[in-house]
A = this chain, B = another copy of it.
């Protein structure tokens, strides 16, 4: 149990070499003769030597840890992104420390501090809904620890962001509904203080304006199960119901759609629906949900790779302000209303 750890001292002593040589050999420093290097490496292996990262990092101040802050864990998009981050990071010899703000600015701040405390080499973050500013990342900026935002980022910040073109997505989704004959299209989305949602909203409004279609007041809510039901109930209560819905979250869209159907609304004949993310549930719900494909895994991979390449000096984050990934409209039955029009 309390087996003393094997250290480079032990190796050095038993091999009648100096710790310096051992250290160099273990780091594969070519300055050490190939033969000596191999002898040392083999012996280390055999002795069950394991580098003590703490001592090592105390010297080098590199931790090979990457901090991650996500705003949620119950979203398929986010967990895909995490899978991407984990995969790339592990391959490159970094370990991600994942924290979770649960959409709380306060927890986001404390996570940021905590990770900084732990001396992560870099940070990947997606903002909480109510995050008003980026001041809690100043410590990173000040100390030159790179930060990459993904998904939820602020518009103008000195940090690199990996995102999709939310404006275009909003435009495309809305345009598609218009093309399907909708003239009274309602947007159900998250807080417009969040830049991503604001952009989708801007795209929505632009698509309407381009066709001279009147703008509808927007419904904002938490985009959870309750939000979907609430949206449906509000729509049912409206004197003049919309004929198209663009809901910027698949799960909420699905719940909303089902609630509407339970009250006799036909999808897509009465109301066409478009979601956002392309979660698996889109292909399960009846009718299958039209949505925007949002490549979570790719986004995680790109964010991690970008950060790590910066850390290894292979590239430089400061020249890149924004990386935009491909996203696209995926048309399924829930929005194909045109065929039913007389």
By a beta-carbon cutoff of 8 Å, the part of chain A in contact with chain B is 1-3, 50-55, 57-58, 63, 65, 73-74, 76, 79-80, 82-83, 86-87, 90, 95-100, 111, 114-119, 142-144, 225, 251, 254-255, 258, 280-281, 284-286
Establish whether residues A117 and B53, one from each chain, have CB atoms under 8 Å apart when the complex forms. yes
Residue of B whose beta carbon sits closest to that of A72: B83
Establish whether residues A79 and B73, one from each chain, have CB atoms under 8 Å apart when the complex forms. yes
Establish whether residues B97 and A114, one from each chain, have CB atoms under 8 Å apart when the complex forms. no
Of the listed residues A51, A86, A225, the one surrounded by the most CB atoms of chain B closer than 10 A to its CB is: A86
A251 to B279, CA, bound (A): 12
Residue of B whose beta carbon sits closest to that of A87: B100
Given pairs A1-B143, A54-B63, 9 additional interface contacts (CB within 8 A)? A52-B58, A54-B54, A54-B119, A58-B58, A73-B86, A86-B98, A95-B114, A97-B98, A280-B281
A111 to B143, CA, bound (A): 30
Establish whether residues B86 and A95, one from each chain, have CB atoms under 8 Å apart when the complex forms. no
Top 7 A-B pairs ranked by shortest CB distance? A1-B144, A73-B83, A54-B58, A54-B54, A54-B57, A86-B100, A98-B98
A254 to B52, CA, bound (A): 48
**Complex interface: chain B residues within 8 A of A54 (CB):** 54-55, 57-58, 63, 119
Minimum CB–CB distance from A201 to chain B (whole Å) comes to 26
Residue of B whose beta carbon sits closest to that of A100: B86
